[in-house]
Structure 1
């Protein structure tokens, strides 16, 4: 059975959502799980699709970014599918993990994406080190230290740590840290 999954990040993306469903129906998807949620939030329909598929099925998406938010997320999904004997098909890439070449391509793509991410992080670290050496990188402004006097004054006035945190819009842990340092 071909099982489809369609997702857009917002409800305003009507044309993209309809196009995905149309493409999934065109390739013979018998069941389509659809949702309009950001990839960084819970995706109940994706979970339902992953629970629904059975050995021999193929989970099909129109584009890779509709399915996974990162390489790690993709590999987790693929591992879940493989454990159930389910193939993954990505239409715009012509990729189907039911074939040896499809599995190879997915592995290569995952490796390239992970390499690119590592290189980006390395460049970022180098840029920060250079900026620090030149005195241009100061880091984030310490918000709690600037409010330390207010924290101590509110505590002296009998306010609880939770009340202080709410009034100054800082965390209870930050309030605790200031009061502990003052003790």
Structure 2
């Protein structure tokens, strides 16, 4: 089965051009939706992805119709490969049913991996420089000293009537955050 997927970002935009190109390609069924590409959920696409079986082909007119990022698209392609599902991207003449199409996507995956590695290295270097300058404090803590939930959790702990699990459920402070805070308080009292 050959499925076509068409998407536009707003209700005012028109799907006609995409639908015409997909029809011309010869898809058996077209799934379409009007939803932003940055939306966390795209119900029509998600339903289609679940429905795809080995040997099926998904056709889109442009890469950005499927994924918000290169990484997301590469993950999708890897998933397709595992499931023996094909992908055709019309504007780039990519067709994973052919050796050339598979090769091109492999190259894209390599660039994506390189990009992730370079970004991680930049982040690591930036953190090291910030630490040297005394400006890096780590991720902002959700439960800080003035957070009402943490204060209440410490009071309940000191009262000794509840387990850590119960305190966590009562205050919505995670057990790990509470344990860290209790450990910090013990260290401060030892000084």
Q: What secondary structure is seen at the aligned counterpart in 2 of 1:3?
A: strand
- Does structure 1 retain, via aligned residues, the 8 Å contact 2:77–2:87? no
Deviation at 1:67, TM superposition (A): 2.5
1:76 to 75, 79, 85: 79
Deviation at 1:45, TM superposition (A): 3.7
Q: Distance in 2 between matches of 1:43 and 1:7?
A: 12
TM-score, length basis structure 1: 0.71
Q: What secondary structure is seen at the aligned counterpart in 1 of 2:13?
A: helix
Q: Distance in 1 between matches of 2:76 and 2:152?
A: 43
Distance 1:53-1:76 versus aligned 2 partners, 3 A rule: closer
- Does structure 2 retain, via aligned residues, the 8 Å contact 1:164–1:175? no
Q: Where in structure 1 are there 5+ consecutive unaligned residues?
A: none
The equivalent of 2:189 in structure 1 is none
Deviation at 1:126, TM superposition (A): 0.9
- Does structure 2 retain, via aligned residues, the 8 Å contact 1:78–1:88? no
Q: Distance in 1 between matches of 2:91 and 2:75?
A: 21
Deviation at 1:104, TM superposition (A): 1.0
The equivalent of 2:5 in structure 1 is 5
The equivalent of 1:140 in structure 2 is 139
Deviation at 1:90, TM superposition (A): 0.5
Q: Distance in 1 between matches of 2:105 and 2:142?
A: 45
Q: Where in structure 2 are there 5+ consecutive unaligned residues?
A: 187-191
The equivalent of 1:87 in structure 2 is 86
1:100-119 matches, within 5 Å, as 100-119=99-118
Q: What secondary structure is seen at the aligned counterpart in 2 of 1:137?
A: coil
The equivalent of 1:59 in structure 2 is 58
- Does structure 1 retain, via aligned residues, the 8 Å contact 2:31–2:44? no
TM-score, length basis structure 2: 0.69
CA-atom RMSD, angstroms? 3.4
Cα deviation digits, residues 32-85 of structure 1 (max 9, x gap): 123447564475544435534563x532012223334242332112332x2xxx
| Stretch deviating more after TM superposition (21-30 or 111-120) | 21-30
Distance 1:175-1:21 versus aligned 2 partners, 3 A rule: farther
Q: Distance in 1 between matches of 2:14 and 2:136?
A: 41
Deviation at 1:151, TM superposition (A): 2.3
